[in-house]
Amino acid sequence: MKIAISAGDPSGDEHAAKIVAALRSRAPTAEFFGMGGTRLRESGVETIVDSETDASVMGFFDVVRSLGTLRNAYRRMVSTLEQHRPNVLLLVDYQEFNLLLAKAAKKLGIRTVFFIAPTVWAWRPGRVKRFIRHVDELACIFPFEPKCFEELGYDRATFVGHPFTDDLGAFSASPKRRETLRREFGIPLGAPVVALFPGSRKQELSLLFQQMRDGFVLAQKTLPELHGIIPLPSSIPDGHIEALLPSELRGSIHLVRDRSLDVLAASDCGIIKSGTSNLQAALTGIPFTMVYQGGWIMRLAAKYLIQTNSYSIVNIIREGTIREITEREQYTAEHLAAEIQRLITDHEYRQKIIQGLQEVSSYLEAHRPGEADSSSTADRIAEIVLSPGRV
């Protein structure tokens, strides 16, 4: 059996690697190839396109600047599908690129399975038409998504659970674990600690990190014992962040490679970019403020296309109630310093956020499928991939 995979960003690469492991246990002789990064290569997938160098971009202007590279990656993937004719193409997130690839695959008669639905319930519901035409099965991570797709005319969506709920123990932030991690990271046990998540792409870092750093410096003026921790994903090369850190901060801002959950568990609060890390922080129970950079095009799109007032999945899940997570698109170092200080020192503010995060965690835990047979999200996706009769 031949299984092609397309994962275009670090989180998709990580999810896809777990699915490959589940597939190998069921189809040990299967061949795997396609687009991915470090995690997929480590799992033995032939990455014909390296997503970390040829595909992982964000934002309108970064996409425009990278059009040639993305077009080349797309053509190489289509050529690979034409030459190898896989039994199935597994598309993991990376919506626009993967929907184009799904269209090409369907023209070749290749079955397509898409994991992680686009947020059509939040904006651009018209995208469902492309799923109707080109995607045979859609595996959703939130329990309300299949109904949303069905109401829009697509009836082949299945809720498989969120990968984070497979091991909720990994999100533990117990006092003992916090103490152990702080000792390991070289942080005084009683110091206030903020987790800084500027993102997993170089483009995100260039937009967000310097303001996070400057906000941290200002916060230190009122919280002199303040420490910060930054998780470094595999997609960011050694020395990239270090070059942006002045020497006087290297004793109070700590860099940790590939351990975002440990960073959260060791922290008192977070300043976190939009995306997957919002849900990680929620399940860890760490109060945080979300930041993002959209520019004028993003603001224009938000005004006319987006059907929700929230960008953080934590607030979206709790739509209709008080938004616990502050979201900032327009911010300065002064704003970030004030948020850090409030998240650490304002007990009432902290408890209100923590309560909301606990409700999000309880919601996801209560809607986990497969608890009776202990199957994981990756297991359920593997069953879909290997069951062509479902279509």
Report the pLDDT value the prediction gives residue 307, as an integer from 0 to 100: 46
Report the pLDDT value the prediction gives residue 96, as an integer from 0 to 100: 87
In which residue ranges of the chain is pLDDT below 70? 54-68, 120-124, 201-204, 206, 235, 293-313, 315-325, 327-330, 370-373, 389-391
Report the pLDDT value the prediction gives residue 11, as an integer from 0 to 100: 84
Report the pLDDT value the prediction gives residue 319, as an integer from 0 to 100: 59
CA 369 from centre of chain: 21
Q: What is the DSSP string of 311-374?
A: -SHHHHHTTTS---SEEESS--HHHHHHHHHHHHH-HHHHHHHHHHHHHHHHHHHHT-S-TTTT
Report the pLDDT value the prediction gives residue 388, as an integer from 0 to 100: 73
Give yes or no on whether 2-161+368-390 and 167-366 have one common fold: yes
Domain boundaries, the chain: 2-161+368-390, 167-366
CATH tag, 167-366: 3.40.50.2000
Work out the number of other CB atoms within 10 angstroms of the CB of residue 169.
Answer: 6
Contact 149, 128 (CB under 8 A): yes
Question: Tens digit of pLDDT for each residue in 343-371?
Answer: 999 999 999 999 888 888 888 887 877 66
With tokens 């890390």, the residue in question is 277
Report the pLDDT value the prediction gives residue 59, as an integer from 0 to 100: 46
Q: Which fold has domain 2-161+368-390?
A: Rossmann fold (3.40.50)
Closest CA to 141 of 19, 281, 320: 19
Question: Tens digit of pLDDT for each residue in 71-129?
Answer: 899 999 999 999 999 999 999 998 889 999 999 999 999 999 999 988 765 556 777 89
d(CA 162, CA 142): 7
Report the pLDDT value the prediction gives residue 78, as an integer from 0 to 100: 97
Report the pLDDT value the prediction gives residue 359, as an integer from 0 to 100: 85
Report the pLDDT value the prediction gives residue 233, as an integer from 0 to 100: 78
